[in-house]
Every structure is written in structure tokens, then in C-alpha cells.
Chain A
Amino acid sequence: MSGPGQAGPAVLVVDDEVGMRDTLTDIFIDAGYQVSSAGDGFEALDRLREDHFDVVVMDMRMPGKDGVTTLEEMGPPPPPVIMITAYAVDELLRRAVASKAYAVIHKPFGVPHLLRVVETALQGAPGDGTRP
């Protein structure tokens, strides 16, 4: 999918933590994606209004506007959203499932697994919220 001179699929990385945001950005760039990043839900919604993204990888818990609320506020049809969380289960997770997040990935995760899920999402396979 990726290659020099070719524009890969566009990925939006949304995370309030710099370390996570930067490493994820690098990982996707390394994997040949076009990557934009946002530090919170408001910024993410701005980015989504400005540009088209093929997939969104978003932290579920963020100050200000959390990932699930952000997903709920995305204009239809939203791109596939993969939620990342450090929490095993909570109300946000249930809402994420209800809001048709494409998948929920628990921290810490194996990078190959994350890339596989993103790739599956891009291929248009149906997501049920928890299944990668």
C-alpha cells in the first residue's frame, strides 16, 4: 500500500499524550500511511472537517472531549474508528461499542496487531466494535 511517491491511505491519530501520539505517527508513516495527528477531540473534529481520512486511530479517554463523544459527533458517514484504551471495561467502552467503533484495542498492544486491524478496516471488512 505504501511506497515512495505514492500517497498511502490517510490516517488520523488522536491522542492527548505526546509519547503515544508521536510513536503512533511514526509507526504509521513507517508503514506507508499519510498521517495527521490531533491532541484532543476538538482538534480531531476540525481535522476531519478539513480533510478526508480513511481511518481514525483514537484514544478513548482524553481531557475535554473523549474519543467516544468525538466519534458520536463525527458527521455521517464517519470513517472507521479504532479506539485505543488503557481500561479493560467502563462506560466509555460500552458506548464505543454502541457507537459502532470499528474496533477497540487495549493498551499496551502489539504493533503488528494494530497494523493488521487498520489494514482490515481499510479493506472494508465489517467491524463489530470489538473484533479486529
Chain B
Amino acid sequence: MPRPRRLVATPVTAAVLIGLFVAVLAAAWGTHELVGNQEQKLLRQRTDELGLYVHGLTDTVGAGLAPLAAAARSGSDPARSFARVAKLTPQVRELALIHAEGAGRFRVAAAVGPDLTPGQPVGATLATAADQALRVPTSFIITPVYTVGGHRIAAIVSATGAPRGYLVMQENPVGGREATSANTTGPYSELLVALYDGRRALPSELATANAPAAAFRGQSASEVVTLGSTDFLLVTAARTSLVGSVELNTEWVVLGVGLLLALLMGGLFELAQRRRAFALELVDQRTAELNQSLETLRRTQGQLVDSERLAAIGELASAVGHELRNPLAVISNTLYLLRRATSTSTDPRLVQHLDTADREVSAATLIVSDLLEYSRSREPMMSDVDLTDLMEEALSVSPHPEAVAVDWQPPAEPLTAVADRDQLRQVFLNLLSNAYDAMPEGGSLLLRVAREGDGHVRVAVRDSGMGMAEETRARIFEPFFTTKARGVGLGLAVTNRIVTAHQGRIEVETEPGAGTAFFIHLPSTHNGVAAPPAK
């Protein structure tokens, strides 16, 4: 039995799959956290390193800048002090003193280094000033902006060993000061760096609007760096992952592989479930089939018992039937002798009584014959049967009731049918008996035998009796169906069977209240050759 394929997993499998998915997601999330922690750890480490470096550098520069600042404060030539500072700090390769002239204009006040010229105007911001002042892509640092003698000055320091790139100090729009890194390449290139003047609280905008916003996963680290006398907050964030792309993707690997494994396990589980269900179903099916077979066996056995019982009843009916025929024949003979002996009597009732007795013997004979024929149907023994002769015999065996007028006109030429004479006689007797019974108040019975064109003969038996309704007509050939008060309902069933066995056919015309006509079509003989079967 083909079963429809299920595409939906069983509820158990679905639960298992959900469980596995949750576990995989948890593992991936755990991996994500682990990697994040590692990233944070690395960022903090790098920030510490950077902080130490910046601190160390500015300590050196700051030591040099202090006299510069003092000179600036005392009004002596800052350029000379500047040159001394440059000598004192061998790490400093270039040094520029920038005058902030207000309105966003800066000018190189003093410079040490191959590309710096005092008086050279620089850009509008400290960042561009640094860009223009230090054309060499090198490392440098800018000091805090000092206000000296009405001049706002800052120092841009380029130092050997510094990380490539620079930190630019600039005016913070929110009032503080900060340094941002730009164009950084090299060891810290992966970092976004901001130096914030920590004298004020770190504005929240900085954390969001600046480095961390563009940072990798929003992670940032901070470190307090003291440059000169000012504490700066060094805020860093990584542009890209510090732990490396492979490690970073571990969570996705965990998620992907985990999901695949979960699906595989779910599939295997579902397969096992289905195999189990299939096996159970198969067991159920086989059990049902077995039970069905047992039931069939039981039923067949019952039928066998029934059929044996029927066969026994058939045997009995057959034996009783044959035994009844002898006394019936003797009674019939006796009636004949009585009729002969009283033939001179003038009492009409006597003849009437004898007719009635003959008819009743005939009816009993017919019942016996139908029962025998039904219980033991036999192959017809064919011969040429003279239909006129047979009809007259049937009429003599079953004389018509007084109230019935028989219209029997034998055909002009002798007509024969290829038939079993005894069986055909039974057919005639059944039709006569039915016709008599259909006319309890009397009527007319028309009997005809005629040749048909196609090598067949037709026997017509038409009564003017009560006729039949359609429901009755549809069932008249069923065994044991009867509308009569007496009789077993085998007459027309046997008649139909006999006619069919003769390759003939029966037609019925009936109308309630108008009577019934039976037409029997039988193969006839033509030059001694049997005619083809009736169509």
C-alpha cells in the first residue's frame, strides 16, 4: 500500500532540531563573546603600549619644551630657545613652532628641520598646519596649545622611532581639546586614536561621534596620558579586528558547522523515527491483513457449511420431489379413469371438480419440477420438439379454469424448436400456471406459436389479467420472489434459466390492470441444422 510521503518532520524531530539549533546558537554566541573579549584585551594592550610610547615621547619633548615655554613666557626670542630645545632633545628630528594667529590662520614661527621655514603660513587648522609644516611623512606629535604673550602656540614634534603618522591637537568644538590621529600607517595603523584634554569630563559625544563610532564593533579603550602638566585621555578603537579575520569568523564557522551538524543529526533522527514508524505501520498492516485473512477463512468456512447445508437440502428436495412424482402420476391416472367412468353423468359439477383436481395435481407437479430443476439444473438434452404437440400436452396436463377462455390457434405448418422436451414443457406449464393465477376473476388467454424470420420460433402467452407494476416486473426472474399467496417463487427463475440454456430469450410486456404477455424466442430447425442462437 503506497503511503503519501511526509515532508514535515515529526514533532519529536522538530523538538530535537530546535534544541540543537539553540545549542548551536549558544555555542556561536559564546564564541562571539570569547572573540570579543580577546579583541578587547588586545585593544587594551595596544592602547597601553601606545600610551606608554606617547608618554615617553612627550616626556622627552616636554623636557625640551619647558624652557621653550619659559622663554616664550619671558618674552625672549622663542626661535633661539627653540633651537636649543632641538639640540637638547636628540630624538627630535624636526620641530616647528606654530603661531596660531586667530581666525583659523597659523604660521610657522620657528622651525628646525629640512622642510620648515620660519614665517611660512600654514593651514587653517592645526591639522592642516601639521600637514603642511611636516611634509615628510614621518612621526610627530603636537604639544598642547599654549597661550604665550597673547599668542596661542603649539609645537609639532617629529621624532625618530615614533609611529608613523601624527597626533594633531586641535580646538575641540565642545570646549575641550583633543588630538586625533590621521593618515596613520604602520604598527598602529589599525587604531583610531583620540587624545582628549582630560581636564574636563569626556563629553559623551566624543565616545559616539568620534573614534568609537567608526570603530570595530564599537569597542574602545582609554588610557590617561600626561603630556606636560596636562592629563590627556588617550581613547583608541580598532578600525579592523585585532584578533584576525580567521578568529573573528570562528563564531560563523561554529554557527555554520553547528547548524549543518544539527541538520544532519535531525535528519538521522527523523530517518530513525520514520523507519520505526514504518516498521510499526508494517506490523499493523500485516496484522490487519492476517486478521482479514482469518476473517475471510472464517467466512468461507461458514459459506462452506451453508453450501453443504444447501446441498443437503437440495438432495432432500430432489429425493422428495422424485418420490412425489409417482403418487402424483397415479392420482392423475385415477382422475382420468374417474372422468371416463363418469362421462355419461349429466352433473356439470362433477366435470368441474375433476378439472379442479387435475389442475391442482398439475400445480403440485409444477412445484416439484421447479424445485428439482432449481436444485439440480441440468444440461438440456436437445431434440426437435413439435411446439403444437407440446402446447396441447401442457393444456391437457394443466386444464384452464372455467372462467378463463383460451384462444389457441395452432400454426398452419408444424413448427419445431431445438429443445429439451421435458424442460420446455415445464416452461409452458409455468407460463400457463402464471397466466391462470393472474386472472382469478377470469379472462382470456391467447396462445400462439409463430416462425420468426431469423431461424427462430416465438411462443406467445398473453393473459388479460392484473398485470404487473414495474417494481414487480423487475424482480420476476429472481428465485423465491413471488406475489402469489401460494407457490415458492421458482417458476419464472427456472423458466428464465431453461430458456437461457436453450440459447433463447424471454420478453415481457405488462401493464397493471391490462394483462401480461410473455414471448419466448427459441432456435428453430432449418433443414435439420440448428439455428444460430437468439440475439
Residues of A near B373 (CB, < 8 A) are 88
* A17-B383 Cα distance, complex, nearest whole Å: 30
Whole-angstrom distance between the Cβ of B352 and the nearest chain A Cβ = 18
Partner of B337, one of A27, A87, A112, A132: A27
Residues of B near A110 (CB, < 8 A) are 332, 393, 396-397
A65 within 8 A of B: no
9 contacts between A and B (CB under 8 A): A26-B337, A27-B337, A86-B322, A86-B323, A106-B422, A107-B326, A108-B328, A108-B331, A109-B332
Whole-angstrom distance between the Cβ of B146 and the nearest chain A Cβ = 147
* A35-B326 Cα distance, complex, nearest whole Å: 21
Please report B residues at the A interface, Cβ cutoff 8 Å: 322-323, 325-334, 336-337, 340, 361, 365, 369, 372-373, 378, 381, 383-386, 389, 393, 396-397, 421-423, 425
Residues of B near A87 (CB, < 8 A) are 322
Partner of A111, one of B336, B378, B384: B336
Given known pairs A20-B333, A27-B336, A111-B336, the reply for A88 and B372 (CB within 8 Å) is: yes
Given known pairs A30-B337, A86-B322, A106-B422, the reply for A17 and B330 (CB within 8 Å) is: yes
Once the chains bind, are B337 and A108 in contact (CB under 8 Å)?
no
Instruction: Give the interface centre of A87, A93, A109 by most chain B CB atoms within 10 Å.
Output: A109
Residues of B near A88 (CB, < 8 A) are 369, 372-373, 378, 422-423
- Residues 101-132 of chain A: 1 if any B CB is under 8 Å from the residue's CB, otherwise 0? 00000111111110000000000000010111
Residues of B near A24 (CB, < 8 A) are 333
Once the chains bind, are B421 and A109 in contact (CB under 8 Å)?
no
Chain B residue at minimum C-beta to C-beta distance from A23: B333
- Residues 79-110 of chain A: 1 if any B CB is under 8 Å from the residue's CB, otherwise 0? 00000101111000100010000000011111
* A21-B419 Cα distance, complex, nearest whole Å: 30
Instruction: Give the interface centre of B334, B397, B422 by most chain A CB atoms within 10 Å.
Output: B422
A76 within 8 A of B: no
* A30-B333 Cα distance, complex, nearest whole Å: 12
Partner of B332, one of A84, A97, A108, A132: A108
- Residues 23-48 of chain A: 1 if any B CB is under 8 Å from the residue's CB, otherwise 0? 11011001000000000000000000
Chain B residue at minimum C-beta to C-beta distance from A61: B322
Residues of B near A77 (CB, < 8 A) are none
Residues of B near A20 (CB, < 8 A) are 326, 329-330, 333
Once the chains bind, are B336 and A109 in contact (CB under 8 Å)?
no
Given known pairs A86-B322, A108-B325, A108-B361, the reply for A130 and B381 (CB within 8 Å) is: yes
Once the chains bind, are A130 and B329 in contact (CB under 8 Å)?
no
A4 within 8 A of B: no
Once the chains bind, are A109 and B329 in contact (CB under 8 Å)?
yes
Residues of B near A84 (CB, < 8 A) are 329
Residues of B near A113 (CB, < 8 A) are 393, 396-397
* A84-B369 Cα distance, complex, nearest whole Å: 16
Residues of B near A97 (CB, < 8 A) are 381
Chain B residue at minimum C-beta to C-beta distance from A17: B326
Chain A residue at minimum C-beta to C-beta distance from B325: A86
Chain B residue at minimum C-beta to C-beta distance from A112: B396
A75 within 8 A of B: no
Residues of A near B333 (CB, < 8 A) are 20, 23-24, 27, 111
Residues of A near B330 (CB, < 8 A) are 17, 19-20, 23
Chain B residue at minimum C-beta to C-beta distance from A132: B389
Residues of A near B372 (CB, < 8 A) are 88
* A110-B392 Cα distance, complex, nearest whole Å: 10
Given known pairs A86-B322, A132-B389, the reply for A107 and B328 (CB within 8 Å) is: yes
Once the chains bind, are B378 and A107 in contact (CB under 8 Å)?
no
Residues of A near B393 (CB, < 8 A) are 110, 113
* A10-B73 Cα distance, complex, nearest whole Å: 185
* A105-B35 Cα distance, complex, nearest whole Å: 118
* A93-B383 Cα distance, complex, nearest whole Å: 14
Instruction: Give the interface centre of A108, A113, A131 by most chain B CB atoms within 10 Å.
Output: A108
* A112-B385 Cα distance, complex, nearest whole Å: 18
Once the chains bind, are A108 and B329 in contact (CB under 8 Å)?
yes
Chain A residue at minimum C-beta to C-beta distance from B361: A108
* A7-B342 Cα distance, complex, nearest whole Å: 25
